Structure 1
Amino acid sequence: MSKPVLQIIVGSTRPGRVGLPVAQWFEGLARESGEFEVELVDLAEVDLPLMDEPNHPRMRKYTKDHTKRWSETIDRADAFVFVVPEYNYGFSAALKNAIDYLCLEWAYKPVGLVSYGGISAGTRAAQMIKQVVTTLKMTPLFEAVSIPFVQKSITDGTFSPEAPVDEGARAMLAELGRMEEALRGLRRGGAKA
């Protein structure tokens, strides 16, 4: 049996963002764990316009090629990690837009949150996104990674966290593996979202 697919989604598209080095660090940990087939999904490269589909996503009657490609990408995932910046006490519009494009493709998949920011470590954004993902029948994990003062841990474009952040990420990865396995029957069994 092939390994489950973990997609790490970079939730910021802003020039100069720190989300990409944070996501690349987490990607390295995930690959090292050997539990998943790992894909890094950068929303800046996906480049979705502001929602432009005429039909409700639940219908899966997509009319645009970019939506069809996005649907195929998310459909093949078994689990996610969202790398979430905090903008004005919330998560980024780019991530919300990417989530809203689809509906059924997200269902019955666990999601881990890696949030970052200043003193709050992006925790307000992480809490806000939980309301959105549970509506789509995703399962957000209790285990999370919160990175305060993220800029202090980036040197020459590389994120190198302190030990507690690294330990938290490894704990979240282990829980992602358990939850992915637990939810697999709902995804593969044809459960209706």
Structure 2
Amino acid sequence: MVPHSSEDKWMTNPPYGRGPENEPFGEVQWRARCQCQRIEYEICRREPLDSKFCHCNGCQTLHGAPFQWAAIFHKDDVQFVRGHESLYFYNSSTKEPVHSLPCKISCSNCHSLIMDEGRHVLLVYPELIKHDTGPERQTLKDIFYPKSHMFYSQRVVDIPDGRPKWTGINGSSELMEGEP
């Protein structure tokens, strides 16, 4: 575990805990876990608020991939059920291993990236959601398939999927015309 910020109240709030001021957790729709299975969390919302591919240089570097696939949920929609003591936090703005929002969350054992925590929402990685290889896999793909691309101007691969492509954050940057 890494050092926490001076304000540790966050540990009693979703997704880490459910303090008395928080609503009860709803019916579990999805379960996700890291590669070593030390960390597991549940999601009570069937469909994400949004889903997207982020092509920014920061995501490319931190994920070691051409883009990040993220599904956005309210913090109340997610709860850790195992391994939250093994979480590792990293703030990419300050380049410090601390829980200071926004931050990346990973497993301290296998180093799987778990999610991004923002001030109000979580960006979970659909690849971690448990599924079988049958119809459930197709359902997962259909529900979580990205609705848009962010920072597409920084892309390293073209994805001609017909989805909106933004030069920066979707809705508040320039929409790129045409494919790819």
Verify same fold: TM over 0.5: no
Q: Please state which band the TM-score falls in when normalised by the shorter chain.
A: under 0.3
Q: Which has more helix, going by share of residues?
A: 1
Q: Which has more strand, going by share of residues?
A: 2
Tell me the TM-score normalised to structure 1 length.
0.26
